[in-house]
Structure 1
Amino acid sequence: MVENPDAKLALVIDDSAVNCKIMTTLLREEGYRVLSGNNGAVGVALYIEHLPDLVLMDIHMPVMDGYEAAKRIKSLSPNSLAPLIFITSLDTDEAFVEAIEAGGDGILTRPFSPEVFKAKIKSIQRISNLYTQVKTLQQEQQQDAELAEQIMSGVIEARNFALDRIGIKKQAAALFSGDIQLTALCPGGNVNVLLGDFTGHGLRSSIGAIPLSETFRVMTKKGFSLMEIIEQINRQLYELLPVDLFCCVCCVSISGHDRSAYVFNAGLPDTYVFNQEGKIKHKIESHHIPLGVMPNLLPQAQLQVYSVAEDDRVVLISDGILEARNDQGEMYGIQRFESAARQGFCHGDIPGKVFAAVNDFCQGRPQEDDISLIDIPCNGWQQALSGDDNAHNLAVSEMPDLHQDSEPSWHWQLSLTGQRLALVNPVPMAMGQIQEIEGNGEHWNNMYTILTELYVNALDHGVLRLNSELKNSAAGFAHYFMVRESRLKNLATGRIDISLSYHPLSSGGKMIITIVDDGQGFDLAAFYDHRLKNKHAGKDKVMLCGRGIELVHQLCEKLEYLERGNKVQATYVWAE
């Protein structure tokens, strides 16, 4: 009989030549190619050389018995079934148990008829075929999962802002990580950072990552406040995720302008602020339940504000770091983390030192949860004017129609009163209208800064009657913010009118922004006189209030306070 070279290969190991010949004949009748050996040692060598699809093994043989040979063969094929049937004359419970413990997948007792032998072979081969199909499916699923993970990483991580300055390190417990790390630049120059930890880990825990990242980036780019972004993410996750899936989140906005860190911690471990000496300056604990649990944030939900110096660093961590265990079941814990973080600060690599310390502590124990750390420097986020300022001013000054009066090509206006001033942020609405009509452009970042500063001044000082002197120190910003939030929640009266008029120019454009509030007004001359006196007294370096007005003045072609000072008109010009 000519053997089919593509047929399955069987290995028969028996010290009886007669038994080998009988089983060889029966196997060939079933379409197998057959190899044979007369002891366990030969059988193991043949298995290593040929990797057969089926092994038939006698138990009692010279040199090496069937039990030992089976154990070695099974150890050589941990990722395949390698079906092995023991052929024996022993018809006892003990022989059956020992055969299974040695790695046998079945046992056939002599004497047996050809029909019983062939039925056993078909049965074990059917199981082997199913195992192969399952392994193939698993490999395909693994390849699909790896592709999906690469796509998700590209969508989520590749678009992060300032990856060269913000230290992000993660270590997933499975192929898909339930942790998400996001960074984005605000139009006004602040940097927003989010660390999220979805329930569990793996593919199921990451289903909310893409919509969360898109919401975070789009709303940050459009200039929405951090609280507005958090509120929208919470609503989105509540509607999207099943009831047993939610996300612990810590959001941080670093403001170089305010020299402050705005923090919202919902379910993650404490967020840390380290000073320039590596000492803990602030530990910011969670003050809210995880996002996606309830349709709305808790009534008392608000940002926490902390003053930061230029050399400070803000560090966010997921609970996988603190809850990592060693072989003795001991958790890594807060004290070990803080010690490793301080060492990392001194060596200029907080993520690297912390992860190395965690891995050393775990001693190779399988990771139970995803671990993540984000290290954010507090310096260098001050807004820079777009483009070369001198070149821009020169280009603007050479516009022949700069000072000509003309009708605007379009006009937009909005009035907000009472509680709507607390509930609605008109700046993203205005910027959205501008970009929808005129398209995108870098000069709109300056426009956003102007509009934000003027509107916030009208709301804070005009309607809410907040004293800007509260912001005369970095620590004062936190108190100022708390007073502002309190007054906004109780706001029942007040009015602000906003209008935009767009005038196209020969090589650029001009936007006239007018904002009117019903407050007591603002004395610009007195403001600059006060700044000048402080500067002569050497206090100007520490004063933080009023810097927004100076920035707007630099950005605008013209800035006027009219009537009682509660009407401001700014002219912003850009050259293309």
Structure 2
Amino acid sequence: MADGLNERHYKLALVVDDSVMQCKVLSVLLKEEGYRVYSANDGARGVDMYIKYQPDLVLMDINMPIMNGYEAARQIKSLSKNTLAPLIFITSMDTDQAFIESIEAGGDGILVRPFSPEVFKAKIKSIQRISDLYAQVKSLQQAQQKDAELAEQLMSGVIESRNYALERIGIFKKAADLFSGDIQLTAQCPNGDVNVLLGDFTGHGLRSSIGAIPLAETFRVMTKKGFSLFEIIDQVNAQLYDLLPSDLFLAATFVSVSSHDSTAYVFNAGLPDTYIYDEQGNVKHKIPSSHPPLGVIQQLLPGCQLNVVSVNEADRILLLSDGIIEARNEKGDMYGIERFEQAAISGVKEGDITKSLLADLEDFCGNMVQEDDISLINIPCKGWESPILVAQIQQGDSSLGEYVELAENGAIWQWQVKLTGEKLAKVNPIPMAMGYVHEVEGGGEQWQNLFTVLTELFVNALDHGVLGLNSDLKKEADGFAQYFHERENRLKSLSTGFVELTLSYYAAGNGGRMLIKIKDSGKGFDHQALELSTKQVAIESQQLSGRGILLVSQLCEQLHYQEDGTMVSAEYVIN
């Protein structure tokens, strides 16, 4: 065996024939063609020698003792599933039946005695050309498989390694092929909310995953810059419509969870229902698909909107792809919604939804081959707070008393935008403003609090100034959901009004000072009463009680309302 397998540069042939003379004759002809030859005198011995030497060619007689050629051929072919292992029957049986049985037994050809040496050698060369071609194809397939595995590792690394809070958000995926058509993304918003996406591209395999990287990049970049969930969805749809072929699209569910608001925002476009469970396993909300998969139409359907639901800290949100629901057992039955819901309820009660679901699914499917990608995302509804840089906040001193105006003509740079009418419903200026700040002053965590300040002041100007919304709505059990829907309705019909935002940046030692001015077209309010109540709360409390004017006042050096409350000025210090 050692001289036959160690880095051989020659071809091996195995002759199996009960005639010693025939073995010698065939061996001489094969050696003339450059083969090293081994021989066996019965089928069983032939199978043993095939296992030992793994020859490049087998010549097989049909009628032999102990094991005939047909049975020996079948066993050899079963042992050579990953190679061609060309096998030629050598026989004196010149009948149609012998030819048919030879092919059925796995033979790749048949030679009927008597034949000339020239005919024999021509047959050997012909079968060897086919064997060489098979080896080349096999080598190319192996190289392609290695390239595909490397591409999958790189793609998974680019997509999954950058996901946020993987230690807290339960993500399970099981691909039906090397490349998964499912994609799972998580990212943190500047205000601390968490955005989650579960997507299912058409089909599975490499082709279905071509949109994964641009999708992941768009989702992460827009989330990081503070775009709203709906703005992200709209951009993803437009991008996939332009990028993907017409028969490839993305069924997806987007979720944004806010601990500050005790609210979840959900948009389901073509995936199974999204479930929200309480800690007892009860289904609090079941959110079905309300939009076609993304990338099918150029623009989102008119009137489509997010589902806004109130959540408690102990609640969990469950997203799933249809690979779970449509999984089949040996009888052809689908796993289905009912089985899924029962297993999920048990999982919530037991404290491990994923483990319970997958165990039940595996028990149902048995040994059936997986037909589609399977994905499951389990999201907790607590712990998504704003990444406030507390060290920058001077507790108990909100500086709402004396206000000192900075001279705008001393600013290093200024940035300004004014949105009017329906543009207020379509354009979010805060990511634009932060993008400019990062471009001019560079990125860094020192700007996290500035994002919070800008967002709160702009939203207050838009919601309470232009739209005239009452904050008392948020005090009800489902207050944020009601508030959000009322806000959306008013934005749709908005045709007048404006909000103007101005940033002025001043050098100050090793840092700087940002003067923020926001003017709105609203009726104003009793800002003196608000300032007094806010200052009193700030003095009495040493903790950040949430978002709103109290938080903004704690983050800023100065905060001051003017012009009957229609203009606010804030000074933010950068150390």
TM-score using structure 2 length: 0.93
2:178 counterpart of 1:175: yes
Report how far residue 405 of structure 1 moved.
6.6
Which residue matches 2:473? 470
2:267 counterpart of 1:264: yes
Supply the AA of the counterpart residue of 2:28: T
Deviations along 1:4-25, whole A, 9 cap, x unmatched? 9622000000011221111111
Partner Cα separation in structure 2 for residue 348 and residue 167 of structure 1: 12
Which residue matches 2:426? 423
Partner Cα separation in structure 1 for residue 316 and residue 189 of structure 2: 19
Give the secondary structure class of the aligned counterpart of 2:505.
strand
Which region of structure 1 is more displaced relative to structure 2, 237-246 or 414-423?
414-423
Supply the AA of the counterpart residue of 1:442: E
Query: CA contact under 8 A between 2:191 and 2:387: conserved in structure 1?
Result: no
2:557 counterpart of 1:552: no
2:198 counterpart of 1:190: no
Supply the AA of the counterpart residue of 1:444: W
2:302 counterpart of 1:273: no
Which residue matches 2:572? 572
Partner Cα separation in structure 2 for residue 565 and residue 507 of structure 1: 33
> Of 156, 159, 162, which residue of structure 1 is paired with 2:159?
156
Supply the AA of the counterpart residue of 2:227: F
Report how far residue 349 of structure 1 moved.
2.0
> Of 9, 14, 24, which residue of structure 2 is paired with 1:11?
14
Report how far residue 547 of structure 1 moved.
4.2
Which region of structure 1 is more displaced relative to structure 2, 381-390 or 454-463?
381-390
Which residue matches 2:317? 314
Give the secondary structure class of the aligned counterpart of 2:341.
helix
Deviations along 1:213-252, whole A, 9 cap, x unmatched? 0000001111111111111111110111000000001000
Partner Cα separation in structure 1 for residue 208 and residue 230 of structure 2: 24
* Mapping 1:96-111, distance limit 5 Å: 96-111=99-114
Query: CA contact under 8 A between 1:260 and 1:474: conserved in structure 2?
Result: no
Partner Cα separation in structure 2 for residue 433 and residue 325 of structure 1: 53
Report how far residue 418 of structure 1 moved.
1.0
> Of 216, 222, 226, which residue of structure 2 is paired with 1:223?
226
Structure 1 residues 481, 403: closer, same or farther in 2, change over 3 A?
Answer: closer
Give the secondary structure class of the aligned counterpart of 1:42.
helix
Supply the AA of the counterpart residue of 1:19: Q
* Mapping 1:400-411, distance limit 5 Å: 407-411=410-414
Supply the AA of the counterpart residue of 1:292: G
Partner Cα separation in structure 1 for residue 325 and residue 502 of structure 2: 52
Partner Cα separation in structure 2 for residue 136 and residue 241 of structure 1: 32
Supply the AA of the counterpart residue of 1:312: D
Partner Cα separation in structure 2 for residue 287 and residue 530 of structure 1: 43
Displaced runs of 4+ in structure 1, greater than 6 A? 402-406, 528-535
Partner Cα separation in structure 2 for residue 138 and residue 296 of structure 1: 41
Structure 2: 5+ residue runs without aligned partners?
A: none
Query: CA contact under 8 A between 2:534 and 2:550: conserved in structure 1?
Result: no
Partner Cα separation in structure 2 for residue 473 and residue 154 of structure 1: 44
Partner Cα separation in structure 2 for residue 469 and residue 5 of structure 1: 85
Report how far residue 344 of structure 1 moved.
1.9
Give the secondary structure class of the aligned counterpart of 1:45.
helix
> Of 504, 509, 525, which residue of structure 1 is paired with 2:507?
504
Deviations along 1:258-284, whole A, 9 cap, x unmatched? 110001100000001011212111000
2:476 counterpart of 1:482: no
Structure 1: 5+ residue runs without aligned partners?
A: none
Give the secondary structure class of the aligned counterpart of 1:564.
helix
2:341 counterpart of 1:338: yes
Which residue matches 1:388? 391
Partner Cα separation in structure 1 for residue 260 and residue 171 of structure 2: 24
Partner Cα separation in structure 1 for residue 284 and residue 355 of structure 2: 21
Partner Cα separation in structure 1 for residue 532 and residue 323 of structure 2: 54
TM-score using structure 1 length: 0.93
Give the RMSD, CA atoms, in angstroms: 2.4
Report how far residue 393 of structure 1 moved.
7.1
2:350 counterpart of 1:347: yes
Partner Cα separation in structure 2 for residue 112 and residue 437 of structure 1: 87
Which region of structure 1 is more displaced relative to structure 2, 163-172 or 502-511?
502-511
Which residue matches 2:122? 119
> Of 73, 89, 94, which residue of structure 1 is paired with 2:92?
89
Supply the AA of the counterpart residue of 2:188: L
Query: CA contact under 8 A between 1:418 and 1:492: conserved in structure 2?
Result: yes
Partner Cα separation in structure 2 for residue 76 and residue 260 of structure 1: 61
Which residue matches 2:146? 143
Give the secondary structure class of the aligned counterpart of 2:349.
helix
Aligned residues between the structures = 560
Structure 1 residues 474, 408: closer, same or farther in 2, change over 3 A?
Answer: farther
Partner Cα separation in structure 2 for residue 405 and residue 412 of structure 1: 15
Which residue matches 2:366? 363
Which residue matches 1:205? 208
2:522 counterpart of 1:513: no
Which residue matches 2:305? 302
Partner Cα separation in structure 1 for residue 331 and residue 535 of structure 2: 66
Query: CA contact under 8 A between 1:259 and 1:474: conserved in structure 2?
Result: no
Query: CA contact under 8 A between 1:308 and 1:474: conserved in structure 2?
Result: no
Query: CA contact under 8 A between 1:55 and 1:83: conserved in structure 2?
Result: yes
Which region of structure 1 is more displaced relative to structure 2, 476-485 or 267-276?
476-485
Deviations along 1:320-339, whole A, 9 cap, x unmatched? 01001111111111111112
Query: CA contact under 8 A between 2:418 and 2:499: conserved in structure 1?
Result: yes
Partner Cα separation in structure 1 for residue 79 and residue 547 of structure 2: 72
Report how far residue 526 of structure 1 moved.
3.8
Partner Cα separation in structure 1 for residue 150 and residue 355 of structure 2: 27
Structure 1 residues 488, 81: closer, same or farther in 2, change over 3 A?
Answer: same
2:62 counterpart of 1:62: no
Query: CA contact under 8 A between 2:182 and 2:374: conserved in structure 1?
Result: yes
Partner Cα separation in structure 2 for residue 426 and residue 486 of structure 1: 20
Deviations along 1:354-410, whole A, 9 cap, x unmatched? 1222122110211100000111100000214125356x779x99xxxx998782111
Aligned-residue sequence identity (percent) comes to 64
Deviations along 1:480-526, whole A, 9 cap, x unmatched? 11111111111110011110111121132211111010101122344
Report how far residue 140 of structure 1 moved.
0.4
